[in-house]
């Protein structure tokens, strides 16, 4: 345990003169097709009212840095005793912290590095391009930045994100670019037959079907028993890096959810029955350097709306969680993925596992990247506590989401599980 002070942010007080220069810079940047979202322009009124000292900013300085409980997933393969101990340790962390970190998770470093490179490529595009309606062939609102409903420094997020629903992932441009056009025709992501290809279509079809079958067989046999988990991947095409990561994260999330369920007596196939790979999502975050890090957040305090989240972060740091009423910083570990319990697991476990409020603080000099995989049920799934008497009313994911949307609109805050207390 060490006392860790985030970069001293003295001198980042909004002063009217500097602020005007910032807005000016913002305009010049956007004219030059800059990558940064126009934060200054958008938050002009909020920043101005803070410059006039009408609003007291949140204080974001000087935090204790803690290491999260470390779960070594290779212990799941050592023997029945070690396996049981590992599962119990995971459960204990979910009860006491709502957060833990996992090592030997079988997601290769090489894939995590490629994912980060992919993120850099995505976010280094000009802002105008990122905010186009079908950026990367994704649905509207996949690219998000700041907080459109921010009313004060307290609910202002200095970050941008690409939120990819797993339903859309195979339609992404990044993925399509990796494959020849004729292949897209055959696997159904394009319905236009390339005219030049027509004469050799039959032959190509035959070849492609054979290749697909062989690839599928190869993946069925491909497994990784080296770490505590065993991936069996069944695919009919070459996945993109993002798709490959999402596939592994989904596999991992389901296993973690199942291990956590064992401690509570929840039936083994609960998650298989209620979650489908397309119900979850991957959110790639970028936190640009922020000129006022002591006054605003990278992501405002929140809990996650899912069963659990798997976070891959770089070494910059900034993730904080609320522990015993105080904010503490999570010490980044290059070998580990961070796991946190979401609202649905808290409801399902009847309040035993904790969906902890967390946030990301801003950094004046260094940009930060992270990717969060949100493991969610299908919209129709009704979440009901596994023990009685229940703390919460039962609710469907759809109802929960609708309630959040209402609350965010009305109050700027999602409110969350407390809405469903009995």
Which listed residue (144, 255, 359, 368) is catalytic? 368
Least distance CB 128 / Ni ion (angstroms): 28
From the list 23-31, 96-104, 311-319, 407-415, the region that binds ligand OGA by CB under 6 A is 311-319
Answer for which of 75, 144, 154, 358 binds ligand OGA (CB under 6 A) is: 358
Distance CA 195, CA 148 (A): 45
Is residue 114 among the annotated active site residues?
no
Least distance CB 213 / ligand OGA (angstroms): 38
Binding flag, residue 343, Ni ion (CB under 5 A) = no
107 vs 360 by CB, closer to Ni ion: 360
Total residues at the site for ligand OGA (CB under 6 A)? 11
Binding flag, residue 290, ligand OGA (CB under 6 A) = no
Burial class (CB in 10 A: 0-12, 13-18, 19+), 61: middle
Binding flag, residue 313, ligand OGA (CB under 6 A) = yes
Interface positions, 270-289, toward ligand OGA (CB under 6 A): 283, 285
Interface positions, 280-319, toward Ni ion (CB under 5 A): 304
Is residue 362 within 8 Å of 110, Cβ to Cβ?
A: no
Least distance CB 304 / ligand OGA (angstroms): 5
Answer for which of 370, 377, 395, 400 binds ligand OGA (CB under 6 A) is: 370
160 vs 304 by CB, closer to Ni ion: 304
Residue ranges in contact with ligand OGA by CB under 6 A = 283, 285, 299, 304, 311, 313, 319, 358, 360, 370, 372
- Among all residues, which ones are annotated catalytic? 368
Residue ranges in contact with Ni ion by CB under 5 A = 304
């Amino acid at each position: 345990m060490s006392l860790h002070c985030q970069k001293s942010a003295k001198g980042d007080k909004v002063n009217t003169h500097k602020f005007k220069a910032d807005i000016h810079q913002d305009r010049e940047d956007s004219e030059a097709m800059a990558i940064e979202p126009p934060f200054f322009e958008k938050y002009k009124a909020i920043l101005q009212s803070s410059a006039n000292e009408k609003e007291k900013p949140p204080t974001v300085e000087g935090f204790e840095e803690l290491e999260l409980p470390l779960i070594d997933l290779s212990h799941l393969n050592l023997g029945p005793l070690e396996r049981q101990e590992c599962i119990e340790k995971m459960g204990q962390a979910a009860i006491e912290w709502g957060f833990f970190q996992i090592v030997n998770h079988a997601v290769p470093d090489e894939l995590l590095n490629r994912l980060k490179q992919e993120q850099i490529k995505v976010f280094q595009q000009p802002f105008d391009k990122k905010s186009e309606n079908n950026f990367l062939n994704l649905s509207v609102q996949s690219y998000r930045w700041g907080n459109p409903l921010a009313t004060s420094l307290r609910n202002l997020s200095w970050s941008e994100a690409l939120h990819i629903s797993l339903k859309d992932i195979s339609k992404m441009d990044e993925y399509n670019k990796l494959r020849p056009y004729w292949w897209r025709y055959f696997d159904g992501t394009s319905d236009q037959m390339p005219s030049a290809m027509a004469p050799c279509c039959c032959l190509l079809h035959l070849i492609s079907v054979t290749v697909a079958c062989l690839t599928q067989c190869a993946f069925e046999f491909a497994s990784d028993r080296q770490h505590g988990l065993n991936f069996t991947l069944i695919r009919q095409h070459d996945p993109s890096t993002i798709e490959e990561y999402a596939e592994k994260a989904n596999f991992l999330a389901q296993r973690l959810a199942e291990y956590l369920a064992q401690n509570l007596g929840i039936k083994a196939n609960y998650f298989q029955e209620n979650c489908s790979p397309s119900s979850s999502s991957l959110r790639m975050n970028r936190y640009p350097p922020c000129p006022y890090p002591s006054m605003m957040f990278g992501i405002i305090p929140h809990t996650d709306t899912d069963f659990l989240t798997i976070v891959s972060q770089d070494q910059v740091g900034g993730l904080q969680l609320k522990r015993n009423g105080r904010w503490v910083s999570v010490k980044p570990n290059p070998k580990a993925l961070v796991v946190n319990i979401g609202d649905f697991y808290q409801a399902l476990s009847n309040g035993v596992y904790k969906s902890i409020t967390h946030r990301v603080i801003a950094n004046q000099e260094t940009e930060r990247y992270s990717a969060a995989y949100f493991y969610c049920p299908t919209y129709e799934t009704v979440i009901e506590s596994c023990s009685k008497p229940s703390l919460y009313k039962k609710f469907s994911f759809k109802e929960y989401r609708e309630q959040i949307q209402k609350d965010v609109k009305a109050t700027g805050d999602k409110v969350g599980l407390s809405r469903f207390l009995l």
